[in-house]
C-alpha cells in the first residue's frame, strides 16, 4: 500500500511538471526527469507527428544500436496506429543522454521490452510515447496503467501547444506570402535595434519594393499579382541568411532585418536579391514576364540611427533614391543623397 | 414451407445468440483493457480495428464504439441477412486484430491479462458455430 501511495505521489508530480511546461522539449524533460522514479527503463521516447520528430531521453550508456532499434520500433508502431506507411528516415531524432543511476547498459544490448501508447486527443492521434528496456519482461500491468496517465496528460498539453502555435502563427505571419507580418516586424525590429544600440553590434535593414507592380495588377488582375508576390517572397526567403528576418511591410513592399551584418554584407545580400529576381522569369497570365525590384539599405552604426524608426526612414530614403535613379538597383543610405551600389 | 419457417427461426435464433455472445465478449475485452490504458485509447483502438476490417466484413461498420463501450445494436437493427458463421468470422477477425494491436503497443503486458479470459471464449464460439 505504501509503495502504491509513493508511486501515486511521483505520478502526481510528473503530471504537474508536464502540465506546467511551456514548450515541447520541456515536456519531454519533465517526463524524462520524473519517469525513472516510476518505471524501470533505459530509454523514454516521444514521437510528435506535428514536425515528425522523435525525442529520446536515454540512459547515457545506451549503445547507438539500441537507440536505432527504439527509433525503428516507435516508427513501426506509430505507422500501425495511423495506418500510413512511415519510415524512420522521415523522422528527425533528438537524443538526450542522462545518467539514470545504476541502470548500466552493455554495448551489445538490444531492445527486449517496451510499452508504447498513442498520444491522442479527441480521437486524433498526434504522436506516441514509449518506454524501452534492454531487459526482457521489464514492464507489467501497473506500469501500463501509470504510463497511460502520463500519456493522457502529455497529449492534452501537446494539444494546447498545437492550438497556441496556430493562434501565434496567425498573429505573426502574413497569410498571402507566409512571410512575417508588419506587426511582428515592428516588434522584432524593436528588439534587434535595442540589442544593437546597447551592445554596438551592427544591424542592417533592407527595404524592397517591386518595380511597376501596379501595372501587373492592372493588366493581369489581382490573382496573378498575388502569385508574383508569393514568388518574390520565396526568392527573398531563399536569398538571405538563416538569422535574417524577412517581412511583408505592406502591399508590394518588404523589409529585411539583418542582425550583425556589416554594410558590405548587407549590400551583397541586397544585390543577390536584386539579381535573383531579375533573372527569374515570372509566369503571369500565360506569358513570361521580367520583374525587377528596387532596394534601399540602412545600417547601424554607420548611418548613426538613434531609433528603429530612424533605420526604417533611412532605408526608405535609400529606396526612394533607387527608384529615382531608374529602378532595378540597390542604394545604400549615406546621408543625403544615398549612394548607388549596383544597378541592372 | 413449415419446415422453411422453422429453419428461418433457428437461423435467427443462432444469429442473435452469436451477437449476444460477441457483445459480452467485446465488453469484457473493453473492460479489461480500459482498466489498463483508459477508455479514450481503447475507443481509439477499437475504431481503428473496425475501420481496418469493415471492407472485408461490411457489417462491422455498424458496430458503435464510444467511451462508454461497444454496442452491436446497429447490426441487429440493420436488417442485413447475415449467417451466424459470417458474424462469427467477422468478430473473430476483429478480436484477433485487437490482440495484434495490443501486442504491437505493449507486447505481452495486455495479452497476459486478456488471453486467459478471452481465448477460451473465442474457442467456445468456434465450437458453437461448428456444432450448429
pLDDT of the residue at A1:
65
Task: List the single residue in B38, B43, B48 with the smallest CB-CB distance to A148.
Answer: B38
| Range from A283-287, B64-68, B75-79 that averages highest in pLDDT | A283-287
- Predicted TM-score (pTM) of this structure: 0.63
Is the predicted pLDDT of residue B3 greater than 70, yes or no? no
Q: Are A152 and A260 found together in one domain?
A: no
B36 to chain A, closest Cα gap in Å:
5
pLDDT of the residue at A4:
77
Among A78, A144, A153, A156, which would you mutate to test the B interface (most chain B Cβ atoms within 10 Å of its Cβ)? A144
pLDDT of the residue at A248:
97
- Give contacts of B36 with chain A, Cβ < 8 Å: 141, 144-145, 148
Q: Are A229 and A150 found together in one domain?
A: no
A218 to chain B, closest Cα gap in Å:
52
Residue A230 lies in a domain: yes
Active-site positions of A?
252
Distance of CA B31 to the CA centre of its chain: 14
Side-chain half-sphere CA neighbours of A292 within 13 A: 14
- Give contacts of A151 with chain B, Cβ < 8 Å: 41
All three cell numbers of A278: 531579375
Residue A176 lies in a domain: no
Domain count, chain A: 2
CB A206 within 8 A of CB A245: no
The answer to whether A112 faces chain B, any CB pair under 8 Å, is: no
Residues of B with CB under 8 A from a CB of A: 35-38, 40-41, 43-44, 47-48, 51-52, 101, 104-110, 112-113
Domain count, chain B: 1
CATH number for the domain that contains residue A99: 3.30.450.40
- Give contacts of B101 with chain A, Cβ < 8 Å: 80
pLDDT of the residue at B1:
38
Residue A284 lies in a domain: yes
Q: Are A125 and A234 found together in one domain?
A: no
Partner-chain contact B36 A141, CB within 8 Å = yes
Q: Are A100 and A208 found together in one domain?
A: no
Partner-chain contact A118 B41, CB within 8 Å = yes
Q: pLDDT averaged over consecutive 10-residue blocks of chain A (344 residues)? A: 76 80 77 85 91 91 95 95 89 89 84 95 89 94 92 86 76 91 94 94 97 95 94 95 94 97 96 96 91 97 94 97 96 73 58
- On average, the pLDDT of chain B sits at 84
Question: φ and ψ at A40, to 5 degrees?
Answer: -100, 90
Among B32, B35, B39, B41, which would you mutate to test the A interface (most chain A Cβ atoms within 10 Å of its Cβ)? B41
- Residue B68 sits in which domain range? 2-131
- Residue A257 sits in which domain range? 182-343
Partner-chain contact B105 A116, CB within 8 Å = yes
Q: Are A160 and A187 found together in one domain?
A: no
Is the predicted pLDDT of residue B13 greater than 60, yes or no? no
Task: Specify the long-range contacts of residues B12-17, CB closer than 8 Å, at least 24 apart.
Answer: B14/B84, B14/B132, B15/B82, B15/B83, B15/B84, B15/B87, B16/B76, B17/B84, B17/B128
**DSSP codes of every residue in A292-335:** -EEEEEEEETTT--SSHHHHHHHHHHHHHHHHHTTSSEEEE--S
Q: Are A186 and A316 found together in one domain?
A: yes
Amino acid at each position: 500500500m505504501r509503495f502504491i501511495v509513493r508511486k501515486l505521489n511521483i505520478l502526481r508530480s510528473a503530471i504537474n511538471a508536464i502540465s506546467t511546461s511551456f514548450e515541447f522539449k520541456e515536456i519531454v524533460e519533465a517526463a524524462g526527469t520524473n519517469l525513472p522514479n516510476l518505471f524501470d527503463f533505459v530509454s523514454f521516447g516521444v514521437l510528435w507527428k506535428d514536425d515528425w520528430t522523435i525525442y529520446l531521453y536515454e540512459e547515457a550508456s545506451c549503445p547507438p544500436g539500441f537507440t536505432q532499434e527504439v527509433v525503428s520500433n516507435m516508427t513501426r508502431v506509430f505507422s500501425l496506429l495511423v495506418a500510413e506507411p512511415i519510415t524512420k528516415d522521415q523522422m528527425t531524432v533528438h537524443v538526450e543522454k542522462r545518467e539514470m543511476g545504476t541502470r548500466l547498459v552493455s554495448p551489445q544490448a538490444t531492445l527486449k521490452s517496451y510499452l508504447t501508447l498513442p498520444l491522442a486527443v479527441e480521437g486524433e492521434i498526434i504522436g506516441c510515447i514509449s518506454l524501452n528496456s534492454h531487459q526482457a519482461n521489464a514492464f507489467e500491468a501497473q506500469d501500463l496503467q501509470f504510463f497511460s496517465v502520463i500519456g493522457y496528460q502529455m497529449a492534452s498539453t501537446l494539444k494546447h501547444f498545437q492550438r497556441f502555435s496556430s493562434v501565434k502563427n496567425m498573429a505573426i505571419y502574413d497569410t498571402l506570402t507566409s512571410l512575417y507580418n508588419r506587426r511582428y516586424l515592428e516588434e522584432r525590429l524593436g528588439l534587434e535595434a535595442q540589442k544593437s544600440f546597447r551592445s554596438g553590434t551592427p544591424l542592417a535593414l533592407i527595404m524592397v519594393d517591386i518595380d511597376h507592380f501596379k501595372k501587373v495588377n492592372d493588366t493581369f488582375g489581382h490573382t496573378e499579382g498575388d502569385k508574383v508576390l508569393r514568388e518574390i517572397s520565396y526568392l527573398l526567403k531563399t536569398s538571405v541568411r538563416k538569422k535574417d528576418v524577412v517581412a511583408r511591410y505592406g502591399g508590394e513592399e518588404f523589409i529585411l532585418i539583418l542582425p550583425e551584418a556589416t554594410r558590405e554584407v548587407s549590400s551583397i545580400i541586397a544585390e543577390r536579391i536584386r539579381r535573383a529576381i531579375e533573372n527569374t522569369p515570372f509566369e503571369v497570365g500565360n506569358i513570361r514576364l521580367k520583374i525587377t525590384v528596387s532596394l534601399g539599405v540602412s545600417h547601424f552604426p554607420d548611418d548613426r540611427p538613434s531609433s528603429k524608426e530612424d533605420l526604417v526612414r533611412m532605408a526608405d530614403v535609400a529606396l526612394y533614391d533607387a527608384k529615382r535613379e531608374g529602378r532595378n538597383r540597390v542604394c545604400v543610405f549615406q546621408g543625403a543623397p544615398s549612394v548607388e551600389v549596383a544597378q541592372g | 414451407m413449415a419446415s422453411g419457417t422453422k429453419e428461418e427461426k433457428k437461423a435467427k435464433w443462432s444469429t442473435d445468440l452469436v451477437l449476444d455472445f460477441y457483445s459480452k465478449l467485446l465488453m469484457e475485452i473493453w473492460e479489461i483493457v480500459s482498466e489498463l490504458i483508459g477508455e479514450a485509447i481503447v475507443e481509439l483502438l477499437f475504431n481503428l480495428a473496425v475501420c481496418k476490417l469493415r471492407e472485408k466484413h461490411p457489417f462491422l461498420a455498424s458496430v458503435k464504439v464510444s467511451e462508454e463501450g461497444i454496442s452491436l445494436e446497429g447490426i441487429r437493427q440493420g436488417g442485413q441477412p447475415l449467417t451466424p458463421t459470417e458474424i462469427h468470422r467477422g468478430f473473430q477477425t476483429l478480436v484477433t486484430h485487437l490482440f495484434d494491436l495490443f501486442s504491437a503497443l505493449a507486447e505481452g503486458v495486455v495479452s497476459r491479462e486478456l488471453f486467459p479470459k478471452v481465448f477460451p471464449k473465442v474457442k467456445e464460439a468456434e465450437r458453437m458455430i461448428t456444432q450448429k
